[in-house]
Amino acid sequence: MEPTRAIYWNVGHGVIAPMYLLVAAATAALAWGFARRLRVWRRGRPVDRLDHPWARAAEALRAALGQRAVLRAPRPGVPHALFLWSFAVLFAGTLLVMLQADLSEPLLGRTFLRGRLYLAFSAALDLAGLVALGGLAALLVRRVLLRGRLESRREDWGVHALLFAILVTGFLVEAVRIAATELGAAPALARWSPVGAALARTLPPMAADTASALHLALWWIHLALVLGFVAALPWTKLRHAVTTPLGRLFADRRPRGTLDTPDLEAEGATFGASRAVDLTWKDLFDADACTGCERCQRACPAHATGKPLSPLRVVREIGAAAATAPEASLLDAIGRDAIWSCTTCFACQDACPASVEHVRKVVDLRRHLALMEGEFPGDEVRTAAGNVEVSGNPFGFAPATRADWADGLDVSVAGDGRPADVLYFAGCYASFDRRNREVARSFVKVCNAAGVRVAILGKREGCCGEPIRKLGNEYLFQQSAQKVIDAIHASGAKQVVTTCAHCFGALSRDYLDLGLSPSVEHHTTFIARLAEAGRLWMDADAAPLDCTFHDSCYLGRYAGIYDAPRAVLAAAGARVVEMERSGADAACCGGGGGRILAEERLGSRINVARAEMARATGAPVVVAACPFCLSMLEDGLKAGGDGPRVKDLAEIVAERIGG
């Protein structure tokens, strides 16, 4: 006899009608639930997140089935992925059963779950059930072990119980059936249901009608639980099974960190967000895509140093407000101190497996505070903004002295008629900050050594506006940006290089919307190319240099530049000892999000926390590639007594070429 099994064994085909009625009811509950959520999401402002629909769908499918983001934290990630994959197999198996039993067999008289396919089907589902149980058990153990550290609500335990019950009753239904039909009559077949068969063997012997009644009862219970799962989807955290992949579908496809560039002259417009309804529908949706996994909060440097910010809480407050008080002030619910504490380091968003866009929300809230209420995180920031407005730098130095750092160096000033290969946009820190002027000088030396002719904007250079933008003052940002763009265009430069990760982000990404034409590069990749092209002769045999490299948020997570600086360090003969958190997981120095201009009044200091990670490597030198990072880390290391020195990548290279 060809191996197969009778579908609807014991329960009979009579159940089809009531079963589908129940399925319809569960589906209706599902649809109703999501329709209610949809009403909440639609309270947000419009934003187009459905361009390139096929590419979006493919990315969403890949993300959901690939589980890559989930697996980045392996302890919860591996069991979750195993559970999801096996649950998907079980779901597919159930669909196959439905296809045969309720469609192909009654309508066409054809069956396909037989023979080898049936054996494979049977074994696959059995094993999938086992793996799903294992994954679920691992997650349960983790949740119990992390009690007090991982928030567990009644809903979390409830969802665990439901999923367990579904899997266990599934196996029980199978076991009773196998005990009655296969163990004795077809032991060879039972081997292809190893878990069900093993369970069947442990069942006490029972009379045929007892077995039949028990099977029927279990079958209905299992069905009810499964339909309960379907109906519960929109109403519990299980909704993430739908909303998380959808969140990926609706993801922002622009270069990472892109912010909207509003037309500030628009008549009667309000700017930024102070209420849920001021945010986009995707922001409100995000709250439903969030699973509460807390990875954002764990990655957040502000949260880690005792500030009142939790990216998770921001998302949840927005979700709560959207559902119950869409016109109420989010600023009060989230708290201004929390909003100002963000360093826009992107660690939360990078860690989020649900594609939640935390940073944009924070900037939107700040835009309201800055543009509509004229607020700053402190008086020192107000002064700095005033200085940017008047003097084109946050320190308030005279713009006429901006190029003094270049005295005695072989650089031309744009417009002086000398030819140049690149325009070096030094930025405010390299122009005025005593320590960072050394970086600018080193970079020029490196360029000179490679035969690259460097021009600067001189007095016409001004603040790129990046910190100001992150502080929400879009007006001053656009004003500053326009001046910079005009100056760069007037210089006729084809290629711009900057040594500042923040200038780099502004010029290469933010200015796209404002019409900057030349290409913009950061000095890490620029020097890496020079080194690779053999244009830099570095004394790799010089005394070996042990160092650690601090990934700037604006280079790493924002722009994906991780390898270039390390390649340069390798070419310079340096050995890099990685910090406890490096690459995409690197911790912020505390200077992003405009915080470089602000006093850190709440909690402990972010730069000290990062400096200690650097110190812990034991390396005598910490290499940075951003003036904010350099300043913050130097400051942070001072706090703990003698420690490693901080140097910019350009300084390391300049030393090694003997410049």
Partner 1 sequence: MRILVCVKQVPDMAARFRPNGAGTWYGEEDLVFRMNEYDENAVEQAIQVKERLGGAPEVTALSIGPARVTEALRKALAMGCDRALHVPDDAAAERDPWQIASIIARVAQDRGFDLVLTGMQSQDRGSAQVGPFVAALLGFSCATTVVAFELGDGRVRVKRELEGGARSALEVALPAVVTCQLGLNVPRYPTLPNIMKAKKKPLDAVAPGGEPADARAATARFFEPRRRAAGQVIEGALDDVAARLATILKERASVA
Question: Interface residues with partner 1 (CB under 8 A)?
Answer: 264-265, 270-271, 371-376, 379, 382, 385-386, 390-392, 396-401, 459, 474-475
| Smallest separation (angstroms) from partner 1 to the CB of 577 | 29
Residue 213 Cα distances to 11, 222, 494, angstroms: 9, 14, 81
| Smallest separation (angstroms) from partner 1 to the CB of 143 | 47
Of 337, 366, 367, 351, which Cα lies nearest the Cα of 300? 351
Pick 285 or 376: Cβ nearer partner 1? 376
Strand ranges inside 608-650, DSSP E: 621-624, 645-648
Pick 21 or 398: Cβ nearer partner 1? 398
Paired tokens of 358: 């935390």
| Smallest separation (angstroms) from partner 1 to the CB of 478 | 11
Q: Hey, which residues does 413 pair with through a beta bridge?
A: 456
591 alpha-carbon distance from chain centroid: 20
| Smallest separation (angstroms) from partner 1 to the CB of 259 | 16
Q: In terms of C-beta density within 10 A (0-12 exposed, 13-18 middle, 19 or more buried), how is residue 262 classed?
A: middle
Q: Hey, which residues does 612 pair with through a beta bridge?
A: none
- For 68, the enclosing helix (H) or strand (E) is helix 68-71
CA quadruple 383, 385, 387, 388: dihedral, nearest 10: 170
Pick 23 or 372: Cβ nearer partner 1? 372
| Smallest separation (angstroms) from partner 1 to the CB of 475 | 5
| Smallest separation (angstroms) from partner 1 to the CB of 372 | 6
Pick 164 or 271: Cβ nearer partner 1? 271
| Smallest separation (angstroms) from partner 1 to the CB of 488 | 20
- 9 and 181 Cβ atoms separated by less than 8 Å: yes
Pick 182 or 433: Cβ nearer partner 1? 433
Pick 8 or 395: Cβ nearer partner 1? 395
CB atoms within 10 A of CB 41: 20
Q: How far apart are CA 123 and CA 655, in angstroms?
A: 65
| Smallest separation (angstroms) from partner 1 to the CB of 420 | 23
CA quadruple 224, 229, 232, 238: dihedral, nearest 10: 170
Which phi and psi angles does 566 have, rounded to 5°?
-70, -35
Pick 38 or 372: Cβ nearer partner 1? 372
| Smallest separation (angstroms) from partner 1 to the CB of 364 | 14
Pick 85 or 397: Cβ nearer partner 1? 397
First to last CA, the chain: 85
23 alpha-carbon distance from chain centroid: 36
3-state per-residue secondary structure call for 521-554:
EEHHHHHHHHHHCCCCCCCCCCCCEEEEECCCCC
Of 184, 182, 167, which Cα lies nearest the Cα of 218? 167
Residue 438 CB-half CA count within 13 A: 14
Pick 3 or 386: Cβ nearer partner 1? 386
| Smallest separation (angstroms) from partner 1 to the CB of 165 | 56
Pick 141 or 264: Cβ nearer partner 1? 264
Q: Hey, which residues does 497 pair with through a beta bridge?
A: 424, 521
Pick 260 or 563: Cβ nearer partner 1? 260
CA pseudo-torsion sign 200, 206, 208, 211 = negative
| Smallest separation (angstroms) from partner 1 to the CB of 384 | 12
Pick 221 or 372: Cβ nearer partner 1? 372
Residue 26 Cα distances to 21, 40, 212, angstroms: 9, 22, 26
| Smallest separation (angstroms) from partner 1 to the CB of 482 | 15
